Amino acid sequence: MPVTKFTTPEKYRYQNGFGSYHESEAVTGSLPIGANSPQKPPYGLYAEKLSGTAFTAPRHENQQTWLYRILPAAAHSPFNPREASSYNTNPEGNKMHQIPNQLRWDPFDLDESADWVHSLKLIAGAGDPTMKAGLGIFIFAAGKSMDRNAAFYSADGDFLIVLQHGVLDIQTELGRILVRPNEICVIPRGVRYRVDLPAGPVRGYILELYQGHFQLPELGPIGSNCLANARDFQAPVACFDEDTPGKYAIISKFNGHLFEASQDHTPFDVVAWHGLYYPYKYDLGRFNTIGSISFDHPDPSIFTVLAAPSDHVGTSIADFVIFPPRWLVGEDTFRPPWYHRNTMSEFMGLIGGEYDAKTGGGFKPAGASLHNIMSAHGPDQGTHEKASNAELQPAKVGEGSMAFMFESCLMVGVTEWGLKQCKKVQEGYNEESWTPLKAHFKIPEGVKRISNLVDAGDTNGELDIGKIVNEGAQAEISQNDLPHYT
């Protein structure tokens, strides 16, 4: 089935296409024709430009949107610091712990007392939002809708939201988006929004990208289709609030600190917009999975949904990778992911079901794991034993399951909250998963051992100096004729 069967029906209209130039108006004639900033925009609106890249960025990278709104976003009081939160400062000065140990977390608790803003917990990350470099990894677990007269935005980076439980009804400046489990949503840096919880508490994961923006990965020899197809991404249509009297709070996440300003008009007053910089969502059930139909397990890069490249071709600051239900048919192949050490850091989460590369129930929905740069990992002992002895018939794995990975070329540090304060780190993860592995190596009788030492009668193609000397050869031997190991 190429789409997810949702229990919560869709309630909004969208525009389809990733990276497409969209335009939308909630009132006929509110979009200017043939100009971005006419002297008097239609219906007395203000024109405002929202830039997600530098003005002079190359055309293929440039992201900006023109908004036509009742009042400009600048019309608010000065921002003042708000209370500290887990992604601000902590007793150790927001110290990150860079450690090589494999880590796994139990499911994070729901918190019915927190709204969206106060449920965000920074668990890991690398880099610095002030330098627009790196990324942050959050979990969220909220039980309350945001205040009706409040809006939130992050100046630090783009939010890639992976919902694990509940429903998010997100009102953004550019329109409304409904997000359900097995859907993801990206809200770009600076876009203001508020979050309602129509089905009760919610929980999930966020990758905040401090540099650049997400894009679809290159397909190379795969061709022009498959993986996440551009047509399946959905952007909102314009939808604005009629202003009502009262104070509105604008909450900003700025270098990991909360600030608040107030204004006497709704921030959701964009009547029309056009451009390339907008929030969007995607149904993971539409991912067209690619795999081997002969032998061997391909690299997990074939499961990439979205990528945020670094300045080195083929290496990402962040990749968003999923492991959906799929068929395995490889002949004479160990079908789970192989054991490996990776120059990339791998943070994994589980939206639902059971991950096919782990047994024993230690990796649970709403939990997570981190295998940092060059930290060895792979299938646990039970999975290895089962896969090594399975009858290799075509088999579908991951039914009812969806696991994902945030992968980064950066060494990811763990916050004090993620390592200690959350009290969810599983003790003995390594011992449980890989210490029980048994050695099966055995040399069959009659098989010859091959020595790594040079034998006088076996020079491996090198010049045998000893033999030449012993036979009284003339000493006219050039340096280039000598073996390199002399």
Last residue of some domain: 284, 319, 335? 284
| One-character DSSP codes across 432-473 | HHTTT------PPTTPPP--SSPBTTB-TTS--HHHHHHTT-
Last residue of some domain: 284, 307, 328? 284
358, pLDDT greater than 80: no
Alpha carbon separation from 415 to 18, 183, 294, 359 (Å, rounded): 33, 27, 43, 28
The dihedrals phi and psi of 466, each to the nearest 5 degrees, come to -60, -40
Exposure string (b/e) for 450-468, b if CB count within 10 Å is 16 or more? eeeeeeeeeeeeeeeeeee
- Give the SS3 label for residue 19: coil
Annotated catalytic residues are: 297
In this structure, the answer to whether residues 37 and 65 fall within a common structural domain is yes
In this structure, the answer to whether residues 325 and 400 fall within a common structural domain is yes
In this structure, the answer to whether residues 217 and 350 fall within a common structural domain is no
- Give the SS3 label for residue 27: coil
Structure tokens at 207: 């990758």
Contact predicate 17/230, CB 8 Å: yes
User: Looking at the whole model, is its pTM more than 0.85?
Assistant: yes
Task: Identify which of 97, 182, 185, 123 has the alpha carbon closest to the alpha carbon of residue 411.
Answer: 97
In this structure, the answer to whether residues 358 and 396 fall within a common structural domain is yes
In this structure, the answer to whether residues 233 and 381 fall within a common structural domain is no
pLDDT at 83: 73
Which CATH number do you get for residue 346? 2.60.120.10
267, pLDDT greater than 60: yes
Would you mind telling me the total number of residues written for the chain in this entry? 486
In this structure, the answer to whether residues 172 and 280 fall within a common structural domain is yes
- Residue whose entry in the numeric block shows the structure tokens 């949702």: 6
Contact predicate 117/258, CB 8 Å: yes
Order of strands across the sheet that contains 168-172: 80-81, 257-263, 248-254, 150-154, 193-196, 168-172, 175-179
In this structure, the answer to whether residues 280 and 161 fall within a common structural domain is yes
Contact predicate 117/251, CB 8 Å: yes
355 among annotated binding-site residues: yes
Query: 24-82, pLDDT tens digit by residue?
Result: 999 999 999 999 999 999 999 999 999 999 999 999 999 999 999 999 999 999 999 98
346 among annotated binding-site residues: yes
pLDDT at 181: 94
pLDDT at 412: 96
Confidence of residue 176 (pLDDT cuts 50, 70, 90): very high
| Type of residue found at 314 | G
Number of domains forming the structure of the chain: 2
Q: What's the domain range around 223? A: 14-90+108-284
In this structure, the answer to whether residues 20 and 134 fall within a common structural domain is yes
Contact predicate 137/412, CB 8 Å: yes
Last residue of some domain: 261, 284, 307? 284
Contact predicate 426/362, CB 8 Å: yes
